[in-house]
Amino acid sequence: MPHIAYDLEGRMEILEVGPRDGLQNEPVVLAVADKVELIARAVAAGARRVEAVSFVNPKLVPQMADAAEVMAEVPRQEGVSYSGLVLNPRGLDRALAAGVDEVNVVVVATETFSRRNQNRGVDDMLAAWAQIAGDARAAGARTTVTIAAAFGCPFEGEVAAERVLDIARRAAEAGPYEIALADTIGVGTPDRVRVLLDGLAEAAPGVRRRCHFHNTRNTGYANALTAVALGVDTLDASIGGIGGCPFAPAATGNIATEDLLYALDRMGVPTGLDLASVIAAADWLAGRLGKAVPAQLGRAGVFPATG
Amino acid sequence: MPHIAYDLEGRMEILEVGPRDGLQNEPVVLAVADKVELIARAVAAGARRVEAVSFVNPKLVPQMADAAEVMAEVPRQEGVSYSGLVLNPRGLDRALAAGVDEVNVVVVATETFSRRNQNRGVDDMLAAWAQIAGDARAAGARTTVTIAAAFGCPFEGEVAAERVLDIARRAAEAGPYEIALADTIGVGTPDRVRVLLDGLAEAAPGVRRRCHFHNTRNTGYANALTAVALGVDTLDASIGGIGGCPFAPAATGNIATEDLLYALDRMGVPTGLDLASVIAAADWLAGRLGKAVPAQLGRAGVFPATG
């Protein structure tokens, strides 16, 4: 039976965010060697972009204090882009010194969340982004911006699409490689994905679009596949679906790389990733974290059964 | 911000299958009073159809041996349809004697699974369905047929859409109120949902379409929301997402009523169900089953926060 052809130019890209967004929200802190192994396993499974580390205040995010060590020890593979999250020029300096290929800046869509999370308002963050983007580009690094809480805010509740798109419009002036819409607390639904993605294409014409979904309320995969159907060709996901949500401590985290990959494989969407290798990496990671991971594929098994 | 209007005629119906498909696949067997309370809680939360029991061989399915007692004790509410699953004329006699409003017959899409699950081949089951449909209609009961393993078979692997649609075509000859497509083992993806639903509309014109999804591999909600977008107006779900999958014992079960409802509420799709009541019912049910349920809403919380 033929599958529906999804309208993709080339392959779908899964940006592996487990080493950063995943581990940052896990209570267990992995050793540098384990962080390096997670990144290496993602790359060995076929990932061509990895959000490997963040260069933020180590007092606020102790899980990422060893970012420079991780970047120094990770084996670099040709054709793979290793990304670091930064929030200010000092972070950019550290990221460039550590040799990242790209820097990702997070701008939160609401004032309250921005001030609580980054100690600055939205306008200040957009100004910081513009400076970082210019400096990073001058240093030869790719720059991306992620709009957090784009589907809802833990403090302010509903977030108007126009507010998100206004931020996108202003962020686009600094010439990003890509703008990402992040459902940071996992409240989005497919109708909202469509509204924001259509709006983003108008607000930032010619800029690549990426989406970042959490499965906190079981809408993450529906949102992700809606984004795929709408022509987005990069999705964030984390091996094992690790990461959690700091605003819903009992809930699950990012959409899982292996569960997303299963769906894309079944739909005939090429990604370049090997499902068995990702499942094996999640199994290894569960052992290091000392807990079961939220991803389902490891428990349910691949279908049709292979081997 | 306006939500996308989904093209629905009136409200979306969630058929509560927790009391039957859910409990049947749980290791803990609830007492009759608890089963009755689960059904009553579903109805109090707004459900207008409940798959309450099954009338199958009690030696094979001991969890449902008390079906007649459950139906005798459950408080009947005007406007609510209480359904029983049957597989043969003897089951139909028991169902009618117990006073069900509708009977649901399962026809499995593959020979191997049909013989293993129901001890009969597909042709025999279609003949049984035709007889049951006629007898049930004569007795004033609504009749529905569910095509199981429509998205994949645990024994035969891939299931061709043409095979499923051929069964639908033959089942339609007996004049069902509704034909359901069931992803019994949770392997489906949205592209396949579209192919089967488009095909079903052609194979059984004028017959209502229902879908039954499991979230075994985290595609259940994406499939469900795809079906909604394609105009299906009845979806099965179970309170708490209980049920599991006998072919993947560690995996989760049906899509959860509350998680589906959360998404539909956010998208502005009316259902008549009250989310807080469903979450409370799931919390109660988790206590009776002595375990956490797979649904996420109870852990993550409703967004935007209410009250």
Residue holding tokens 């009947």? Answer: B76
Helix%, strand%, coil% for chain B, nearest 5: 45, 15, 40
* Angle (nearest 5°) at CA B126 between B120 and B256: 85
Cβ–Cβ < 8 Å for A217, B259: yes
Per-residue pLDDT at B2 exceeds 60: no
Give the pLDDT confidence of A98-124 residue by residue, as tens digits.
999 999 999 999 999 999 999 999 999
Per-residue pLDDT at B8 exceeds 60: no
Q: Residue B10's pLDDT is what?
A: 64
Cβ–Cβ < 8 Å for B94, B67: yes
Give the confidence band of A11 by pLDDT, cuts at 50, 70, 90: confident
Flag if A263 and B189 touch (Cβ within 8 Å).
yes
Q: Residue A290's pLDDT is what?
A: 97
Catalytic residue among B106, B245, B260, B293: B245
Which are the contacts of A111, defined by CB distance < 8 A and separation ≥ 6? A121, A122, A156
How close is the nearest chain B Cα to the Cα of A258, in Å? 10
The mean pLDDT value for B165-174 works out to: 98
Give the pLDDT confidence of B182-218 residue by residue, as tens digits.
999 999 999 999 999 999 999 999 999 999 999 999 9
Give the confidence band of B3 by pLDDT, cuts at 50, 70, 90: very low
Spell out the domains of chain B, with CATH numbers in brackets. 13-300 (3.20.20.70)
Share of chain B above pLDDT 70, in %: 96
Which of A217, A230, A238 to probe by mutation at the B interface, max B CB count within 10 Å? A217
Cis amide linkage into residue A304, ω under 30° from 0 = yes
Give the confidence band of B245 by pLDDT, cuts at 50, 70, 90: confident
- Of the candidates B4, B215, B219, the beta carbon closest to that of A195 is on B4
- Which residue in chain B is spatially nearest to A161 when comparing CA positions? B1
- Which residue in chain A is spatially nearest to B301 when comparing CA positions? A248
Mean pLDDT of chain A: 94
B151: left (phi over 0), alpha (psi -120 to 50) or beta: alpha
Give the confidence band of B290 by pLDDT, cuts at 50, 70, 90: very high
Calculate helix-pair angle for B190-203, B220-229, nearest 10 degrees: 40
Chain B contacts of A238, Cβ < 8 Å? none
Catalytic residue among A86, A128, A196, A245: A245
Give the confidence band of B255 by pLDDT, cuts at 50, 70, 90: very high
- Residues listed for chain B: 307
- Which residue in chain B is spatially nearest to A304 when comparing CA positions? B157
The mean pLDDT value for B51-71 works out to: 95
Give the pLDDT confidence of A160-175 residue by residue, as tens digits.
999 999 999 999 999 9
Flag if A218 and B221 touch (Cβ within 8 Å).
yes
The secondary structure of residue A6, as a DSSP letter, is P
Q: Residue A244's pLDDT is what?
A: 81
Flag if A195 and B305 touch (Cβ within 8 Å).
no
How many whole angstroms separate alpha carbon A261 and alpha carbon A281? 14
Q: Residue A247's pLDDT is what?
A: 79
Strand segments, DSSP code E, in chain B are: 13-16, 49-55, 81-86, 102-108, 142-148, 178-183, 208-213, 234-237
Flag if B303 and A217 touch (Cβ within 8 Å).
yes
Give the pLDDT confidence of A247-261 residue by residue, as tens digits.
778 788 999 999 999
How many whole angstroms separate alpha carbon B172 and alpha carbon B200? 10
Give the confidence band of A276 by pLDDT, cuts at 50, 70, 90: very high
How many whole angstroms separate alpha carbon B111 and alpha carbon B156? 9
What burial letters (b/e) apply to A22-45, b meaning 16+ CB within 10 Å? bbbbbeeebeeebbbbbbbbbbbb
Cβ–Cβ < 8 Å for A124, A111: no
Mean pLDDT of chain B: 94
Using CB atoms and an 8 Å cut-off, which of residues 57-76 of chain B contact chain A? none
Share of chain B above pLDDT 90, in %: 92
The mean pLDDT value for A8-29 works out to: 89
Give the confidence band of A305 by pLDDT, cuts at 50, 70, 90: confident
- Of the candidates B218, B248, B296, the beta carbon closest to that of A259 is on B218
A157: left (phi over 0), alpha (psi -120 to 50) or beta: left
The mean pLDDT value for A272-290 works out to: 98
- Which residue in chain B is spatially nearest to A223 when comparing CA positions? B222
Give the pLDDT confidence of B23-43 residue by residue, as tens digits.
999 999 999 999 999 999 999
Chain A contacts of B194, Cβ < 8 Å? 4
Residue B291 at interface with chain A, using a CB cutoff of 8 Å? no
Give the confidence band of A62 by pLDDT, cuts at 50, 70, 90: very high
How many whole angstroms separate alpha carbon A71 and alpha carbon A39? 10
Flag if A304 and B157 touch (Cβ within 8 Å).
yes
Residue B204 at interface with chain A, using a CB cutoff of 8 Å? no
How far is the CA of B265 from the CAs of A110, A191, B222, in angstroms?
23, 12, 15
The mean pLDDT value for A292-303 works out to: 96
How many whole angstroms separate alpha carbon A90 and alpha carbon A163? 28
- Which residue in chain B is spatially nearest to A245 when comparing CA positions? B300
Residue A257 at interface with chain B, using a CB cutoff of 8 Å? no
- Of the candidates A157, A217, A304, the beta carbon closest to that of B259 is on A217
Chain B contacts of A216, Cβ < 8 Å? 296, 300
Flag if B248 and A185 touch (Cβ within 8 Å).
no
Per-residue pLDDT at B9 exceeds 90: no
Per-residue pLDDT at B242 exceeds 60: yes
Per-residue pLDDT at B113 exceeds 80: yes
Chain B contacts of A12, Cβ < 8 Å? none
Using CB atoms and an 8 Å cut-off, which of residues 219-238 of chain B contact chain A? 219, 221-222, 224-226, 229
Is B153 among the residues known to form the active site?
A: no
Q: Residue B5's pLDDT is what?
A: 41
ipTM of the predicted assembly exceeds 0.90: yes
Flag if B303 and A152 touch (Cβ within 8 Å).
yes
Residue B218 at interface with chain A, using a CB cutoff of 8 Å? yes
Residue holding tokens 């095909």? Answer: B199
Flag if A219 and B262 touch (Cβ within 8 Å).
yes
Q: Residue B7's pLDDT is what?
A: 46
How far is the CA of A36 from the CAs of A40, A49, A76, A81, A142, in angstroms?
6, 15, 11, 15, 22
The residues that bridge with A82 in the sheet, in sequence order, are: A50
Q: Residue A302's pLDDT is what?
A: 96
